[in-house]
Amino acid sequence: MRYFLRLAYHGKAYHGWQRQPNAMSVQEVIEHSLSTLLRKEVVIVGAGRTDAGVHAKEMYAHFDTDTPLDSKQLSYRMNAFLPSDIVILDILRVQDNAHARFDAIARKYVYQVVCQKNPFLKELAYMVSGALDVDLMNRAAQQLCNYRDFECFSKSKTDVKTYICSLNEAVWLEKDGVLEFHISADRFLRNMVRAIVGTLLEIGKGQKSIADLDAILQSKSRSRAGVSVPAHGLFLVKVTYPSKIYV
Protein backbone atom coordinates (compact mmCIF):
# COMPACT_ATOMS: atom_id res chain seq x y z
CA MET A 1 0.00 0.00 0.00
CA ARG A 2 1.24 3.48 -0.83
CA TYR A 3 0.77 6.65 1.19
CA PHE A 4 1.59 10.29 0.55
CA LEU A 5 3.02 12.45 3.31
CA ARG A 6 2.06 16.13 3.06
CA LEU A 7 4.53 18.08 5.14
CA ALA A 8 6.23 21.41 5.77
CA TYR A 9 9.64 22.40 7.11
CA HIS A 10 11.95 25.26 7.98
CA GLY A 11 15.08 24.52 5.98
CA LYS A 12 17.77 26.37 7.95
CA ALA A 13 19.11 23.33 9.82
CA TYR A 14 19.17 21.00 6.82
CA HIS A 15 21.41 20.44 3.84
CA GLY A 16 18.41 20.27 1.55
CA TRP A 17 15.70 17.65 1.12
CA GLN A 18 17.67 14.72 -0.29
CA ARG A 19 19.53 12.25 1.92
CA GLN A 20 23.30 12.78 1.80
CA PRO A 21 26.21 10.81 3.25
CA ASN A 22 27.80 13.52 5.41
CA ALA A 23 25.07 16.09 6.09
CA MET A 24 21.65 16.16 7.73
CA SER A 25 18.69 16.25 5.33
CA VAL A 26 14.93 16.51 5.74
CA GLN A 27 14.47 13.14 4.03
CA GLU A 28 16.80 11.42 6.50
CA VAL A 29 15.01 12.83 9.54
CA ILE A 30 11.58 11.78 8.27
CA GLU A 31 12.77 8.32 7.25
CA HIS A 32 14.22 7.83 10.72
CA SER A 33 10.93 8.87 12.30
CA LEU A 34 8.84 6.56 10.11
CA SER A 35 11.22 3.63 10.48
CA THR A 36 11.22 3.98 14.27
CA LEU A 37 7.44 4.27 14.60
CA LEU A 38 6.62 1.50 12.09
CA ARG A 39 9.47 -0.71 13.39
CA LYS A 40 10.89 -1.42 9.96
CA GLU A 41 13.08 0.37 7.47
CA VAL A 42 11.08 2.89 5.45
CA VAL A 43 12.36 4.79 2.41
CA ILE A 44 10.48 7.86 1.18
CA VAL A 45 10.49 9.50 -2.27
CA GLY A 46 10.00 13.26 -2.39
CA ALA A 47 8.23 15.45 -4.91
CA GLY A 48 11.52 17.16 -5.65
CA ARG A 49 14.82 18.28 -4.15
CA THR A 50 15.00 21.59 -2.32
CA ASP A 51 18.50 22.98 -1.82
CA ALA A 52 20.21 23.58 1.52
CA GLY A 53 18.40 26.25 3.51
CA VAL A 54 15.26 26.33 1.34
CA HIS A 55 11.93 26.04 3.16
CA ALA A 56 8.70 24.23 2.25
CA LYS A 57 5.17 25.20 3.22
CA GLU A 58 3.92 22.18 1.28
CA MET A 59 6.03 19.20 0.24
CA TYR A 60 4.96 15.65 -0.61
CA ALA A 61 6.70 12.31 -0.32
CA HIS A 62 5.48 8.74 -0.77
CA PHE A 63 6.27 5.52 1.07
CA ASP A 64 5.00 1.93 1.02
CA THR A 65 3.73 -0.35 3.76
CA ASP A 66 2.33 -3.89 3.86
CA THR A 67 -0.56 -3.07 6.20
CA PRO A 68 -3.21 -0.34 6.38
CA LEU A 69 -2.32 2.65 8.56
CA ASP A 70 -4.33 4.87 10.87
CA SER A 71 -3.30 8.09 9.15
CA LYS A 72 -4.40 10.47 11.91
CA GLN A 73 -2.70 8.47 14.63
CA LEU A 74 0.53 8.08 12.67
CA SER A 75 0.55 11.79 11.84
CA TYR A 76 0.13 12.63 15.54
CA ARG A 77 2.92 10.25 16.57
CA MET A 78 5.29 11.51 13.87
CA ASN A 79 4.78 15.12 14.91
CA ALA A 80 5.55 14.19 18.51
CA PHE A 81 8.72 12.44 17.34
CA LEU A 82 9.98 14.93 14.74
CA PRO A 83 11.94 18.11 15.57
CA SER A 84 10.01 21.37 15.78
CA ASP A 85 11.14 22.54 12.33
CA ILE A 86 9.36 19.70 10.48
CA VAL A 87 5.61 19.03 10.59
CA ILE A 88 3.42 16.34 9.01
CA LEU A 89 0.27 18.06 7.70
CA ASP A 90 -1.50 14.96 6.43
CA ILE A 91 -1.03 11.30 5.46
CA LEU A 92 -3.05 10.26 2.42
CA ARG A 93 -3.77 6.84 0.92
CA VAL A 94 -3.03 6.84 -2.81
CA GLN A 95 -3.01 4.41 -5.72
CA ASP A 96 -0.20 1.86 -5.47
CA ASN A 97 1.49 3.26 -8.57
CA ALA A 98 1.19 6.93 -7.55
CA HIS A 99 4.55 8.71 -7.50
CA ALA A 100 5.28 11.85 -5.46
CA ARG A 101 7.76 13.16 -8.02
CA PHE A 102 6.61 11.95 -11.42
CA ASP A 103 2.85 12.43 -10.90
CA ALA A 104 3.16 16.07 -9.81
CA ILE A 105 1.67 18.27 -12.53
CA ALA A 106 2.63 21.66 -11.08
CA ARG A 107 4.86 23.19 -8.44
CA LYS A 108 4.85 26.70 -7.04
CA TYR A 109 7.62 28.64 -5.30
CA VAL A 110 7.62 32.02 -3.55
CA TYR A 111 10.74 34.08 -2.92
CA GLN A 112 10.58 36.80 -0.26
CA VAL A 113 12.49 40.09 -0.42
CA VAL A 114 12.53 43.00 2.03
CA CYS A 115 14.00 46.42 1.34
CA GLN A 116 14.55 47.40 4.95
CA LYS A 117 15.81 45.60 8.03
CA ASN A 118 13.19 43.30 9.56
CA PRO A 119 14.31 41.15 12.52
CA PHE A 120 11.22 38.95 12.24
CA LEU A 121 12.11 37.89 8.69
CA LYS A 122 15.90 37.59 8.98
CA GLU A 123 15.76 33.83 8.25
CA LEU A 124 12.83 34.00 5.85
CA ALA A 125 13.52 36.88 3.45
CA TYR A 126 16.46 38.39 1.57
CA MET A 127 17.18 42.02 2.41
CA VAL A 128 17.99 44.17 -0.61
CA SER A 129 19.38 47.68 -0.24
CA GLY A 130 18.34 50.47 -2.57
CA ALA A 131 15.19 51.14 -4.57
CA LEU A 132 13.67 48.55 -6.90
CA ASP A 133 11.56 49.23 -9.99
CA VAL A 134 8.87 46.61 -9.30
CA ASP A 135 6.88 47.48 -12.43
CA LEU A 136 9.94 46.82 -14.59
CA MET A 137 10.63 43.58 -12.70
CA ASN A 138 7.06 42.46 -13.41
CA ARG A 139 7.41 43.24 -17.10
CA ALA A 140 10.57 41.15 -17.14
CA ALA A 141 8.84 38.35 -15.20
CA GLN A 142 6.08 38.25 -17.80
CA GLN A 143 8.71 37.94 -20.51
CA LEU A 144 9.89 34.69 -18.90
CA CYS A 145 6.57 33.06 -19.77
CA ASN A 146 7.40 33.45 -23.48
CA TYR A 147 10.25 30.95 -23.10
CA ARG A 148 10.50 27.23 -22.38
CA ASP A 149 14.24 26.57 -22.33
CA PHE A 150 15.74 27.77 -19.03
CA GLU A 151 19.25 26.33 -19.28
CA CYS A 152 20.70 29.77 -18.49
CA PHE A 153 19.18 29.57 -14.98
CA SER A 154 20.17 25.98 -14.25
CA LYS A 155 22.98 24.95 -11.96
CA SER A 156 25.89 23.65 -14.02
CA LYS A 157 26.90 19.98 -14.00
CA THR A 158 23.36 18.80 -13.35
CA ASP A 159 22.08 15.42 -14.54
CA VAL A 160 18.82 16.56 -16.18
CA LYS A 161 18.01 15.38 -19.71
CA THR A 162 16.11 18.53 -20.69
CA TYR A 163 16.01 22.19 -19.67
CA ILE A 164 12.44 22.63 -20.89
CA CYS A 165 9.92 23.95 -18.32
CA SER A 166 6.39 25.25 -18.85
CA LEU A 167 5.81 28.36 -16.74
CA ASN A 168 2.24 29.37 -15.98
CA GLU A 169 2.90 32.16 -13.44
CA ALA A 170 5.73 34.62 -12.81
CA VAL A 171 4.78 37.76 -10.89
CA TRP A 172 5.96 40.10 -8.13
CA LEU A 173 3.44 40.98 -5.41
CA GLU A 174 3.80 43.32 -2.43
CA LYS A 175 2.28 42.16 0.88
CA ASP A 176 2.70 43.99 4.19
CA GLY A 177 6.10 45.41 3.30
CA VAL A 178 7.36 42.14 1.82
CA LEU A 179 8.04 41.78 -1.89
CA GLU A 180 7.14 38.26 -3.05
CA PHE A 181 8.05 36.62 -6.33
CA HIS A 182 5.49 33.93 -7.24
CA ILE A 183 6.46 31.40 -9.89
CA SER A 184 4.65 28.21 -10.99
CA ALA A 185 5.63 25.58 -13.53
CA ASP A 186 5.33 21.92 -14.34
CA ARG A 187 8.94 21.42 -13.21
CA PHE A 188 11.98 23.40 -12.09
CA LEU A 189 15.71 23.03 -12.67
CA ARG A 190 18.24 23.08 -9.83
CA ASN A 191 18.86 26.64 -8.61
CA MET A 192 16.45 27.95 -11.26
CA VAL A 193 14.22 30.12 -9.07
CA ARG A 194 17.11 31.70 -7.16
CA ALA A 195 18.93 32.52 -10.41
CA ILE A 196 15.76 34.02 -11.92
CA VAL A 197 15.17 36.16 -8.82
CA GLY A 198 18.79 37.36 -8.85
CA THR A 199 18.46 38.37 -12.50
CA LEU A 200 15.12 40.15 -11.96
CA LEU A 201 16.54 42.06 -8.99
CA GLU A 202 19.40 43.28 -11.18
CA ILE A 203 16.79 44.51 -13.67
CA GLY A 204 14.92 46.21 -10.83
CA LYS A 205 18.13 48.00 -9.81
CA GLY A 206 18.80 49.16 -13.37
CA GLN A 207 21.85 46.92 -13.78
CA LYS A 208 20.22 44.87 -16.56
CA SER A 209 17.40 45.51 -19.03
CA ILE A 210 14.56 43.39 -20.39
CA ALA A 211 16.52 43.18 -23.65
CA ASP A 212 19.40 41.76 -21.61
CA LEU A 213 17.02 39.15 -20.18
CA ASP A 214 16.04 38.03 -23.67
CA ALA A 215 19.71 37.77 -24.64
CA ILE A 216 20.47 35.75 -21.51
CA LEU A 217 17.66 33.28 -22.20
CA GLN A 218 18.68 32.87 -25.82
CA SER A 219 22.34 32.37 -24.87
CA LYS A 220 21.55 29.39 -22.58
CA SER A 221 24.63 30.44 -20.58
CA ARG A 222 24.47 30.47 -16.77
CA SER A 223 27.37 32.91 -16.66
CA ARG A 224 25.27 35.54 -18.44
CA ALA A 225 22.45 35.46 -15.89
CA GLY A 226 22.37 37.23 -12.52
CA VAL A 227 23.74 35.97 -9.23
CA SER A 228 21.87 33.31 -7.30
CA VAL A 229 20.08 34.88 -4.33
CA PRO A 230 20.38 33.27 -0.86
CA ALA A 231 18.37 30.13 -0.11
CA HIS A 232 16.66 31.39 3.06
CA GLY A 233 14.16 33.55 1.14
CA LEU A 234 12.81 30.65 -0.95
CA PHE A 235 9.72 28.58 -0.16
CA LEU A 236 8.13 25.64 -1.97
CA VAL A 237 4.49 26.51 -1.33
CA LYS A 238 2.38 24.10 -3.41
CA VAL A 239 2.62 20.80 -5.28
CA THR A 240 -0.37 19.78 -7.40
CA TYR A 241 -1.44 16.23 -8.35
CA PRO A 242 -4.29 14.84 -10.46
CA SER A 243 -7.23 13.72 -8.33
CA LYS A 244 -7.13 10.22 -9.85
CA ILE A 245 -4.10 9.24 -7.75
CA TYR A 246 -6.04 9.34 -4.48
CA VAL A 247 -7.97 6.34 -3.15
Catalytic residue list: 51
Closest residue by Cα to residue 60 from 11, 24, 20, 9? 9
Residue 247 vs residues 4, 44, 69: alpha-carbon distances, Å: 11, 19, 14
- In the chain, beta strands by DSSP E: 2-9, 45-46, 55-64, 86-94, 106-114, 126-127, 167-175, 178-185, 234-240
d(CA 151, CA 165): 10
Q: Map 69-105 to HEC letters.
A: CCHHHHHHHHHHHCCCCEEEEEEEEECCCCCCCCCCC
- b (16+ CB within 10 A) / e for 160-187: eeebebebeebebeeeeebbbbebbbeb
d(CA 153, CA 194): 8
Inter-residue contact 54 to 235 (CB < 8 Å): yes
Inter-residue contact 108 to 121 (CB < 8 Å): no
